[in-house]
A and B are shown apart, each in its own frame.
Chain A
Amino acid sequence: MFYREAGQFKTTYAADQALFPIRQDRHAMIALLAIAFIGVPLFASEYWLTALLIPFLVFALATLGLNILTGYAGQLSLGTAAFMAVGAVAAYNFQLRIPGMPVLLSFVLGGATAALVGIAFGLPSLRIRGFYLAVATLAAQFFIPWLVTKVGWFSNYSASGVISAQPIVILGHAVDTPQKKYLLVLAIVALLALLAKNLVRSRIGRAWMAVRDMDVAAEVIGIRILRTKLTAFAVSSFYCGIAGALYAFAYLGNVEPDGFNLDLSFRILFMVIVGGVGSVLGSFLGAAFITLVPILLEVLLTQGALAFNLNLESGVTSMAQLLVFGALIIFFLIVEPHGLARLWQITKEKLRLWPFPY
């Protein structure tokens, strides 16, 4: 009834190629952004900002990075956390070593460094694919945190190898409150998501998908395989690098290289799978599902136990939360193997017919 595109005529190519061709989608997106940029900082509590929304956005960015590589270009990677670590360490060192370095530029340079490292570890992708490539990227996952802890220079010889991110100052303005940090992260993530959305519709993105679907055929029609795969690694690692820098600077403040471990890489891979492989929206949905649902479950279980006057140890509710969460993931993957993004697509199709389905 409300979600119907009848009567929306497109008279130019530009209108036909718009990011959101349907008017309702466009309005919904504008409303969502307005809420995220204006409503949330005004009304959300500090807990919501620092403990839920900032990590959600940071992980969404990392998931987007991995989705570009795995979902769009079809290259399986287990090195996401390592590329995040490169971004965090590089941004920290650019800030530390070069006086007067603008913090945003050091984020970009951190991302660029991660992109270079990503290209280096992406080189084997020309010869090996699938699970074997995952093993090659696993090498990055073990090598990079080891290197950062081994060489004291990277962490400025801190006793424990921990990097303590510098305060964020942009044009003399200190980004120190949760609201400001949230806005900074949101702005960066929104910008990069817009970029990704356009990138995957461009020549480069189409080349990625061609390689993903059948690389021999892609080569035959004139796509250069090496360059396509390496750009995917570079762009993906760039996104992960920026996410890592934000993780260190805007979220935790102090990070140990050990925190960027295989567990984190797997978590981000799960976000891609649960959210939807090869979908920008799916990256956000997946990150939201994996970061927010466990916390929600834990709160519900603890409060439920209190309401029924059950004296449970905190360990019991945690275990229960893990069980329920695991069951939920399996449930979602069974009913919709293509992830939450596909679910949203089905919803939209059904909405078109609502309330009179045939």
Chain B
Amino acid sequence: MGTFRILLVAIAAAIGGLAALPAAFAQQAGTQFVGVLSYRVGPYGANGAAFFSGFLDYLALVNERDGGINGVKLSWEECETEYNNAKGVECYERLKTRSDSGPTAIHPMSTGITYGLIDKVPGDKIPMMTLGYGRTDATDGRVFPWVFPILSNYWDGATGIVKFIGDKEGGSDKLKGKKIVLLYHDSAYGKEPHPVLEAEAAKLGFELKMIPVPHPGNEQQSQWLQIRQYKPDWVILWGWGVMSATALSTAQKVGFPRDHMVGIWWAGSEIDTQAAGPAAEGYYAASLNLAGKDFPVIKDVEKFVYGKGKGGDAKLVGTVLWNRGFAAGMFTVESVRTAQAKFGKKPMTGEQVRWGIENLNVDQKRLDALGFGTMVPPLKLTCSDHGGSGLVRFQQWENGKWKPASEWMSGDRAMIRKMVEDSAAKYATEKGITAGCLKG
């Protein structure tokens, strides 16, 4: 009888709690509310924590140093997605109603969640920014007006890596007859570069072998035995989370030279290389942004945010992913600022922010003024190009630090553009979308 009573009370409490669920917290009126779909737990939690700390630190910096964007303060709420698609959708639905002006712009930081939301954002009029991940053909803004795969997309990354390998071999023509392995995370993310790498292999005449690693990728013995038998000249590592570090240490075990391994930017953070220890020495990785603290804006963060005890984890500042999240925050804030120049100095709605992103122009002068310098390349977007520069820069892991190993460079942009348009057109017919630019 006793436990039964307790149970009844527990059930009643649960039902009561559920009924109270929609009673959302009213956001402070007059602020620009930012909905943050973050993840800090789960197999990719370490990567997410670094990115989202950077993102939130930038928002805090704008509040603390400038008093908001043109006087409009920023407010935000985090929702933990655990890198899980269904939870991501739940978080999105939860955060989109939190404020009258909507959640500004969504950064899902997960290709899977991006796919889950891609059909929802046009109806809800919420822009989605995917910085270096997500659906590549969304670069064609005439078919995907609400999605912005800014900076560089996966196909830029893949062709950039091929070009980098070509440079190392002494020219792209030297790639003929070479053997390249793509070791990829077996998910939408890992499959994204396949078409463009196949096209590159056909064009440049290298042999391509694609080897999947199942999620989460902490066991790669059989994959590396395959690689050892195949004896490739280069391995492209399309890893994420624990998979990248495991690849590096397994490569060391089977004796594959790490300076012939090139990772995509998600396999190129300190989290990956430090976990691999000395096995990571000499490993190259593409990057969208430079690591390090030698930028004036980071001095500001240390003074205004961490100095006041309002920052995240101080150890993360200056790491690759923290800087990337920090830059994502900057691009979001600059989009709102661009929108405010047209619509007035008040909180911007999703539609207004979308206009702001589409007309975003952060040139080198603006980057210098913001104190970012060369941390990220300049970004200018248009209706038909939601991607931007497409530039990547390579880094090499040496003595426990990422060192730049190339200038900003880009791959075969003409080929990518054509493939993007073809793929977007196919999507448009499948979904019955008429391609075109949205008005203001």
Most buried by B among A164, A254, A317, A335: A254
Q: Which residues of A contact B430 (CB under 8 A)?
A: 96, 156, 164, 166
* A160 x B111 contact (CB < 8 A): yes
Q: Which residues of A contact B179 (CB under 8 A)?
A: none
* A159 x B97 contact (CB < 8 A): no
Does B79 make an interface contact (CB < 8 A)? yes
Most buried by A among B45, B85, B123, B136: B85
- Number of A interface residues in the complex (CB < 8 A): 50
Q: Which residues of A contact B40 (CB under 8 A)?
A: 313-315, 318
* A259 x B85 contact (CB < 8 A): yes
Does B414 make an interface contact (CB < 8 A)? no
List 16 interface pairs A-B (beta carbons < 8 Å), by A numbering.
A48-B22, A50-B89, A159-B423, A160-B188, A160-B192, A161-B191, A162-B115, A162-B188, A254-B115, A256-B112, A259-B85, A296-B17, A315-B40, A315-B41, A315-B45, A315-B80
- A335-B7 contact given A167-B431, A314-B79, CB 8 Å threshold: yes
Does B345 make an interface contact (CB < 8 A)? no
Q: Which residues of A contact B215 (CB under 8 A)?
A: 258, 261
* B97 x A45 contact (CB < 8 A): yes
* Chain A residue at minimal CB-CB distance from B80: A318
Does A110 make an interface contact (CB < 8 A)? no
Q: Which residues of A contact B80 (CB under 8 A)?
A: 298, 314-315, 317-318
CB-contact partner of A45 in B22, B41, B188, under 8 A: B22
* A254 x B116 contact (CB < 8 A): yes
Chain A: minimal CB distance from B128 (Å):
13
Report the bound CA distance from A176 to B431 in whole Å: 13
Q: Which residues of A contact B3 (CB under 8 A)?
A: 335
* Chain B residue at minimal CB-CB distance from A314: B78
Does A202 make an interface contact (CB < 8 A)? no
Does A303 make an interface contact (CB < 8 A)? yes
Q: Which residues of B contact A315 (CB under 8 A)?
A: 40-41, 45, 49, 80
Chain A: minimal CB distance from B357 (Å):
21
Report the bound CA distance from A246 to B61 in whole Å: 44
Does A293 make an interface contact (CB < 8 A)? yes
CB 8 Å contact bits of B26-47 with A (1 = contact, 0 = none):
0000000000001011000100
Report the bound CA distance from A48 to B23 in whole Å: 12
Report the bound CA distance from A149 to B213 in whole Å: 13
- Number of B interface residues in the complex (CB < 8 A): 55
Beyond A159-B137, A167-B432, 7 additional pairs, beta carbon < 8 A: A252-B89, A252-B116, A253-B120, A255-B85, A256-B112, A259-B86, A318-B40
Within 8 A of B (CB), among A306-345: 306, 313-315, 317-319, 322, 335-336, 343
* A259 x B79 contact (CB < 8 A): no
Within 8 A of B (CB), among A242-299: 251-256, 258-259, 261, 292-293, 295-296, 298-299
* Chain A residue at minimal CB-CB distance from B430: A164
- A253-B119 contact given A296-B21, A314-B38, CB 8 Å threshold: yes
A interface residues (Cβ-Cβ under 8 A, vs B): 45-48, 50-52, 55, 96, 149, 156, 159-162, 164, 166-167, 176, 251-256, 258-259, 261, 292-293, 295-296, 298-300, 303, 306, 313-315, 317-319, 322, 335-336, 343, 346-347, 350
CB 8 Å contact bits of B110-153 with A (1 = contact, 0 = none):
01100110111001000000000001110000000000000000
* A259 x B112 contact (CB < 8 A): yes
Q: Which residues of A contact B123 (CB under 8 A)?
A: 176
Report the bound CA distance from A46 to B94 in whole Å: 9
Does B225 make an interface contact (CB < 8 A)? no
* A318 x B22 contact (CB < 8 A): no
CB 8 Å contact bits of B74-89 with A (1 = contact, 0 = none):
0000111010011001
* Chain A residue at minimal CB-CB distance from B190: A160
Q: Which residues of B contact A258 (CB under 8 A)?
A: 112, 186-188, 215
* Chain B residue at minimal CB-CB distance from A344: B11
Report the bound CA distance from A285 to B120 in whole Å: 29
Q: Which residues of B contact A347 (CB under 8 A)?
A: 8
